[in-house]
A and B are shown apart, each in its own frame.
Chain A
């Protein structure tokens, strides 16, 4: 039972363009969401979070959007840089549980 889904296993984007990573969830008890970036041979690194009382949170080049009615969140990276190439995981929190999606591998081409 996948409560958090990242339906795109990979995404390829040209340097300087926008990267949009998507995440869907099924459980209404989730009320806090995070995005993590993971490089090979390292643990995930926290990037940005959003509470369910907001619909947008920005931090520099990174913006997370939350659509509660659609149970959908997205991470926008603009402009994309080659160093952004990594696996991105979304995570949903609620009821003391943290559920991660399967990840999306982002390739940013120079």
Chain B
């Protein structure tokens, strides 16, 4: 158990809909990262927050947005969903901003029908 929690575990929705994925980092960790893993693909870095502020951005679509709240939990919002958004979404946390090992949650499996 990494100490990172993600909810929900599974999510099934329809094209055009909007969903919110939630992540609680390990106690004491200030950074939260979001990754997308499509079928048989590697992990694609989406975005990083550090202590409530956006720190780095990867290949995140404009339809996706995220935020980190004062209690350090984070939410990833996916809107106007398309079939290709079906994937595993992982959240990770670390203490620092960079050069830290990241601890991953179990992931949320999103299926868009």
A-B pair number, CB within 8 angstroms:
56
For A46, the closest partner residue in chain B by CB is B101
Q: Interface-forming stretch among A66-74, A75-83, A94-102?
A: A94-102
Shortest beta-carbon distance, B43 to chain A, in Å? 4
Contact check, A43 vs B101: say whether CB atoms are below 8 A apart. Answer: no
Please tell me the number of chain A residues within 8 Å of chain B, measured between CB atoms.
Answer: 25
Closest to B44 in A: A100
Residue of A with least CB distance to B101: A46
- Determine chain B's interface SS by DSSP, over half rule: loop
A45 at the interface (CB under 8 A from B): yes
Given A43-B104, A98-B33, A101-B42, 15 other A-B residues pairs in contact with their CB atoms under 8 A: A6-B42, A42-B107, A43-B2, A43-B105, A46-B102, A49-B101, A51-B99, A91-B43, A93-B99, A96-B55, A97-B58, A98-B45, A100-B44, A102-B41, A102-B42
User: B residues within 8 Å of A by Cβ?
Assistant: 2, 4, 33, 35, 41-45, 48, 55-56, 58, 90, 92, 97-99, 101-107
